[in-house]
Structure 1
Amino acid sequence: MYGGYVGKLWNVLEQKLGFRTEYRVVAPDVGTGTENNGSWNGVVGMVVRGEVDVALELYSMTSKRLAVVDFSSAVYYDRFYMFVRRLDGREVGWKGLVAPFDWRMWMLLVFLAVVTFTYLCFARLVGRSFDVITPSEALLHSPVYIACCIFGILFCSQGHATAPRCVSWRAVLIGAHVAGVVLAAAYSGRLVASITVRYHRLPFASLEGLLATDYRLGVKKDSAEYNVLQHADGGPMRQAFATRVSHDARSHPVTDLEGLRRLCSDARYAFVTAAKLARHAATRLNCSVAQVPEPFMQGDGHLALAPGRPYARVLDHYLRRLRGSGVMQKLFADAFRSPASHTEPTPSPVDLPSAAAAFQCLAAGAAAAAALLGLELALALRRPRGRAAPRRPRRHVVDLTPFHTSRDFLPRRSKRSPASSPGPRTSRVLPFLPGGYAVQRSGGGSGNTALPHVGLEDVPSKEEYL
């Protein structure tokens, strides 16, 4: 019994035709076989020399091989693709912060911010002219304050403490808040997904894309893929053979599994093989490989037969029957079925490079704040240190009604002549206000005259009164 897809297919032929087979196992490094000065080596050379009758391996037809051996009908159909090692596609750094939105979305955000800022400044000017916005509101909502509010609303989804009583102003702010909440949710979701979810990107998508990079192209030793590249008339295949494929046959992998394993050790290496074979061999690799979308070539596999054997037509007849009945397809599916994985997918932790952009923003903000602080201190030191300008007195209205006059608060009586003073008058000083004394006077015979509200700037100090 011989294993693998070809071996199982040959076992079915043994049962159908009733013959027995003597197997000769060759070393893996023997290779398929190439022509050197008219003589063939490898497995094809063994068939040419008559050492074996059939080579139980999948071979592609080439003009040189057809000249020395016979081939059975096709027992395998597949497309050949280039395979590369998967690369981590997460965006890190400053590019990762901008990646959630494309450039058109960012331009729309800037346009909305400019339009909103222009309208609010215009509404502030017009509202102040028609007394819709009070002077205190206009003074508080300066253009700088408006710009900060718009940035906080559209880009940070933040509000502000005050707003003028203008209805149109508040309507614009409500619309900006709604747009800011939606945009912040969309941006946050896309940013979190780009940081936490690992998706993979391809370095190129075609053979022309490979030629634009520094990747090397690998093919199996003595394979049809190498023959196609070698005899290409021109175009990308000819250029790839001249610049990307090694011409030293000893450096080519002998098997498809060996070529795929080179992808794990060399990140700048691409290997050409059949898609079904690569998917089956991927379970035995210690890295993850990706298939380039563009097909490299269409291929099929045949059995190599010794030329002139009478049983060749009989084998072709039964191979066609096995293909038509679906037996060949079932054997292929059983041979190349990937083992099921019962392991649960583990979440990928967020590493430091993925979150580096957030820390960079924090460091940039701290550096900008420190620079602005230094600028403010420098400007403050350049100002002339003269006598400070007098402060404008603050007006406080005080009710003096609850206070009663008392002899304890009386200062010395002013000496006035009877002519100048029609009646007895007393001056009473109430020392209850900081920085000054309130004065309450009473006229003779008419009772006390209370001053219900007195401003501090109208009240003399104690020294000035005495």
Structure 2
Amino acid sequence: MVRTLTPCTPKTCVSEIIRKVRDKYHHGCVILVNTEEAGTSDFSGQQRFVKITKHLYLLPIIVGAVTLNSFNYTSMQTRCNTKHPIFVVLSVNMATKRFLQDVSPTPTLQYPCWLLFLTPDQTLEDLLEHVYLPFNSHFLSVAADGDNILLTEAYHVDRGGPLRTFRYGLWNATEVDVTVSPLSVFERRPHLHGLVIEGASINVPPIVGLDQGSDGVYRVGGLFGEIWKVLEKRVNFTTRLHPARDNAYGIYNVSSGSWNGMMEMVRSGQVHVAIGDFSMTRRRSTEVGFLFPIIQTSYSVFIRVPSGQQLPWGGFFSPFARDMWLGMGVCVLILTAQWSVLCSVAKRLDSHEASTSERRHPGGSLLSVLRAFLAQGNDWIPEAMSCRLVFLTTYLTALVMNAAYSASLISSLSRQTTVVPFQGLQQLYNDSTYSFVVIKKTAEYNSFQDSNDPMMIKAFIKYLKGKEDLPLNLGEALDHICTKSKYSALLELEQAKSVSSNISCEIMALPQEVIPVTLSPIVAKHSPYMELLSYQFTSHFLFLVPLTKIERDISRSSPIGYAPFASLSPSTLGLLKLRSSGIVVKIRRDLWSKVFPRTEADYPVVSLINVVPVLQLLFIGAASSILFLVVEICCRQYSLGFKNNNKKKTSRRYHVKSRWV
């Protein structure tokens, strides 16, 4: 059925306004709310109710109906599959005002869209007196203004604050359709009008810092703190900071069923936000909301770099592949054959080449070619031009081979590849010679405790369960890695890198990550500002996390499975992704250069331990030469003694024979 657009009148334009608002907010079905109180009857009102319902069915739009007395937002009656409904109140009366006041403290006004049609003698301010409309709510009123119909959007920035309105749409008799604002919700509500938000933070530099000034006011710093301060300026709000409870981010205590740290401060309502690198976990997402991740990283197992690292014997053959070594051997044999043949021909043709008789033999020719490949000189230069060409070819080939081999070998020596004792947690568990810990009262401890992964369960039982000597913070964990033998700790990669230059030993992360994680500040679970702050994070601070993953994380953390950005069009979501301005990268680069200034050139150093195989080869060669020298001397002495004995025997026989004669 094709619907043709015709100019609507104030009587027939109701369904067009409902359709327009529904399409704009990408909502699902339409729920018509009947505000007529029990015991009253309004036949004309019922007729209008039925006509509008019929007209919406023809558009087509899924339509439902509910009364105020039976209204229950969480029931299936008011659900439209996965999308939120749009609630339409066609007749506003005192029962409507009491209803709005009653549901004001609940999420009923926060997630769905409300559309109220007012009579000329009703005003929005009177209707919403003592009613709190959250900042992220979608509450619209429709009122006639002469020949025009005005659509007004209403919301509060904070409970107890003034009601703020925005002219959302307009219809007049000269227009075919209802015109609504093309601006997105965050362009209509771009900032928080100087709102003061209670917040908490912790001092874990350089990721996040918390300092108390001489005036007693806490100020946040570090990577997350600098980003938060930029966000405050953009969204026009300030944060009154408090130190973290228990000086901890917060973990869940299974035995007591309670939280600690900043998690409990946000969860209990003591503060509204917590500024820090909170790991997104399933258990945490059920209690608080996460803003967009600033950093995507992982938890990895860190150990002290094993001492005595050296290039293995096979490393001296690795610069060339097997076929390269084979080709070089063939090249040596070909040059040897050419050398031997050409020297023999030159001897026959030229008497000046008579001194080259030893090089005509394959053995002599092979030694001459090997001298070139071993970068040694020759004590003879041929006279014949053909022999000289072979001579030149041999040395040029050897020069190229030596240059390529030396460059690759020196590169491998200066790179100093460390041979790790194991690749990840599984091999560490099987090794059983290393101890393994995580930082106490952190999300990673809860991750092992709540994990369904068999390897993490076994590691928790073997290394962590019931242990009281776990490190309390990052510094203590790094100190134990440097001072204790065969000690490993699960640390967040970004934090460990940030302080690795300030510890007494060299540490390394095992190649296999254990837990991939995204880090983000947290807000109260039903925070009305989460969508705006998340939008600003996406628009100006998007760093490493794909947008699809962000949407999935927010949808999972929503109390009713609702993704706040579902109301945005796909083109707007794509625009958010493209509008990343690189502020995070700049802040991170500037902050890291101040915390860890580069004081000297970072040249790779080749230590003595890296060339131990070469020294071993020299020692073996020298020892072998001495051994062979001793053997030669012994053989020589034995040979001389044997000859002298033969001479004595021969002389004695001669004397005896001459005496008989």
Could you say which TM-score interval applies, normalised by the shorter chain? Answer: 0.5 to 0.7
Question: Which residue is equivalent to 1:374?
Answer: 630
Residues 279-428 of structure 1 mapped to structure 2, 5 A cutoff: 279-290=497-508, 296-303=515-522, 305=524, 312-326=526-540, 330=583, 334=587, 337-340=591-594, 341-345=597-601, 351-380=607-636, 381-382=638-639, 383-385=642-644
Matched-pair identity in % = 17
Q: Does 1:180 align with 2:398?
A: yes
CA distance, structure 2, for counterparts of residue 215 and residue 320 of structure 1? 42
- Superposed displacement of residue 338, structure 1: 0.6
Q: Tell me by how many angstroms 1:200 deviates.
A: 4.5
Aligned pairs (5 A) from 1:46-65: 46-47=264-265, 50=268, 52-54=270-272, 56=274, 57-65=276-284
TM-score by length of 1: 0.61
3-state SS of paired residue (1:375): helix
Query: Does structure 2 retain, via aligned residues, the 8 Å contact 1:91–1:99?
Result: no
1:154 aligns to 2:359 (yes or no): no
Question: Matches of 2:608 and 2:271 in 1, distance apart?
Answer: 61
Q: 1:375 to 1:131 in 2, by over 3 A?
A: farther
Structure with higher RCO (Cα < 8 A, 6+ apart): 1
How many pairs align? 377
Going from structure 1 to structure 2, the CA distance change for 1:121 and 1:335 (only over 3 Å counts) comes to closer
> 1:316 offset after TM fit, Å?
1.8
Q: Tell me, in whole angstroms, the C-alpha distance in 2 between the residues paired with 1:149 and 1:360.
A: 27
Q: CA deviation at 1:76?
A: 3.8
SS in 2 for 1:319: helix
Report the equivalent of 1:23: 242
Determine if contact 2:347/2:357 at 8 Å carries over to the other structure: no
**C-alpha distance in structure 1 between counterparts of 2:319 and 2:588, whole Å:** 44
Secondary structure of 1:338's partner? helix
**C-alpha deviation, 1:145, in angstroms:** 2.9
Name the SS for the 1:297 alignment partner.
strand
Kept in 1: contact 2:299–2:517 (CA 8 A) = no
Pairs within 5 Å for 1:50-199: 50=268, 52-54=270-272, 56=274, 57-65=276-284, 69-74=287-292, 76-82=294-300, 84=302, 85=304, 91-92=310-311, 94=313, 97-118=316-337, 120=339, 127=345, 137-139=356-358, 141-161=360-380, 163=382, 169-195=387-413, 197=414, 199=416
- Relative distance call for 1:45 and 1:314 in structure 2 (3 A) is closer
Letter of the aligned partner of 1:82 in structure 2? S
* 1:42 counterpart (257, 260, 267): 260
Which residue matches 1:2?
219
The DSSP-based 3-state class of the residue aligned with 2:643 is coil
Residue aligning to 2:559: none
Shift of 1:82: 1.9
TM-score (norm 2): 0.46
Cα displacement string for residues 257-281 of structure 1 (whole angstroms, at most 9, x for unaligned residues): 5444544445755544444434433
Change (3 A) 1:141 1:268: farther
Single out whichever of 46-55 and 353-362 deviates more from structure 2: 46-55
1:295-321: per-residue Cα shift (whole Å, max 9, x none)?
54132434264x7xxxx4333244235
Structure 2 gaps, min length 5: 1-217, 543-581, 648-661
Other structure's SS at 1:23 match? strand
Greater Rg over alpha carbons, structure? 1
Letter in structure 2 aligned against 1:367: A
In the TM superposition, what is the alpha-carbon distance from 1:151 to its structure 2 partner? Answer: 2.1
Q: Deviations over 1:188-219 (max 9, x none)?
A: 44445555x35444626666676676665544
Structure 2 counterpart of 1:112, one-letter code = C
8 Å Cα contact 1:78/1:275 also seen in 2: no
Q: Which residue of 1 aligns with 2:195?
A: none
User: Following TM superposition, by how much is the alpha carbon of 1:91 offset from its aligned partner in structure 2, in angstroms?
Assistant: 4.1
1:450: which partner in 2?
Answer: none
